[in-house]
Amino acid sequence: MTQSINSPDTFTQLFDAHEGHDLTIMSAQVQEPGNYRRIIRDNQGQIDHIVDFRNLTDSERNIREISLGIFCVNNELLFKYLPEFKDDTNTEEINLTQLVKIMKTNGHKIQSLRAEDYQEFMGVNDRFQLNTSMRWLQERINAQDMYNGVTIISPSDTYIGPDVIIEPDATIYPNTHIYGKSIIRSGATIYPNSWIENATIGENTTIDSSRITDSTVGAQTTIGPNAHIRMHSDIGNKVRIGNFVEMKNVIFEDLSRSAHLTYLGDAKVGKDVNIGCGVVTANYDGKNKYRTEIGSGSFIGSHSTLIAPVTIGENALVAAASVVSDDVEDGAMAIARTRQETKPGYGERFKNKEGK
C-alpha cells in the first residue's frame, strides 16, 4: 500500500475550517500522548505554542492535547517568518512548530481542528509503527467495503489496497490479497489464499487459491485452485481454468476449458476449446517468443506440445501426446508421436530375470 492514510475528507474539513484564520493546526485529545508534541494554551484557552516531547516539563507531560503535525497556513506568512526559525538544541532540528509561537506573538489568528480519529495521523518512525498504521488502514478499507455491501468473511485476515474497487455482493474469504487497480465485480467470490493485483474479475466469477496479475477475467468463470494468470491475459466468460494451469499473455475466449497442469504462453485460444491435461505451448527458442493460435471448437489432447509459431485451425483435433510443429487446418486431426509396439511375453521375461 502506497497511499497516505490521511483521507481526502479530512483535508476538506481542514480547508473549510481554516477560512478566516492564518494558521490551523490538526490536533487530537488522547489518553496516552506518549511521544507526540503537546499543544500549550494560554489562560484564555487560546493556542500559545507547541512543545516537542523531548522538551516537555513534568507538568506539560500530563497535557493530552497533541499536535498531529499537519498545519494549514497562509503561504505568504509562512515564507515571511521562516528566517526567524532557530535550531532546537535538544532535538538538533529546525522545527516547523516554531511557527505557532511566532505567529501568536505577531497577533495572527490561530486555531486547532480536532481529528475524529487521531490514528489517521499516527507517526511512523519504525517498522512496528509502520505495521500499526497499515493495520489501521486495512481496517478502514475493509469497513468501508462492508458498508458498501461486500461480504468479507474475516476482515482482520483480508488485505485490500486503497485503489481497489469491489462491487456489492462480492464475497472475499480470509488470507486474500487484492492490490493495485483491481476491480472485483458483483457476485464474484474470492476464496482463501488468492493474490489479485491490477486485475479485473467479472461478475459471478470464482477465484480459488490462485494468483492473477495484470489480467482480465470475464463473468461466470472458474479459476483454480492454484492457477496463475499473468501478463495481460484476457480470460473470457464461462471459462474453466483448473489446478496448476499457468497462462501468460493469453487470450482465452468464452466457454473454453483448461482443467489441469497446463502452460499456455503467448497464445490465442478461440471459443469452446478443450485443452487437455499437461498441454504446453513451447513459445521460447532461447532468444525470441512466438505465438500459438488455436481456433474455436478445437480439442487439444492431453500431454501435447505445440511448438510455436503454430496455428491450430477451427474444430481441429490434436491427438494426445503429440508434438505439433506444423499448422493444422480447420477440421483436421494431427497425430505426431511414435507408434506403440507391443511384444507379447516380454513383461513376464522381465520379471523372471535373475535377481528380480
**Residues with a known catalytic role:** 260
Q: Give, in order, the Cα–Cα distances in Å from 210 to each of 73, 222, 334.
A: 49, 11, 33
What is the CB neighbour count within 10 angstroms for residue 269? 28
Q: What's the rounded Cα separation, in Å, for the pair 297 and 327?
A: 16
Q: Is 264 helix (H, G, I), strand (E, B) or coil?
A: strand
Q: Scanning the structure block, which residue is given the C-alpha cell 501468460?
A: 248
Q: What's the rounded Cα separation, in Å, for the pair 179 and 156?
A: 16
The three grid cell numbers given for residue 191, joined into one nine-digit string: 476464496
**Environment class of 184 (CB within 10 Å of its CB; exposed 0-12, middle 13-18, buried 19+):** buried
* Residue 24: strand pairing partners: 72, 111
DSSP at 337? S
Size of the chain, expressed as the number of residues it contains: 356
Would the CA dihedral through 79, 80, 81, 86 be positive or negative? positive
CA 137 vs. chain centroid, Å, equals: 14
The three grid cell numbers given for residue 89, joined into one nine-digit string: 538544541
Q: Is 103 helix (H, G, I), strand (E, B) or coil?
A: helix
Short-list 102, 36, 84, 86, CA closest to 64: 36
CA 100 vs. chain centroid, Å, equals: 40
Contact residues for 266 (Cβ-Cβ < 8 A; gap 6+): 248, 249, 250, 281, 283, 289, 290, 291, 292, 308
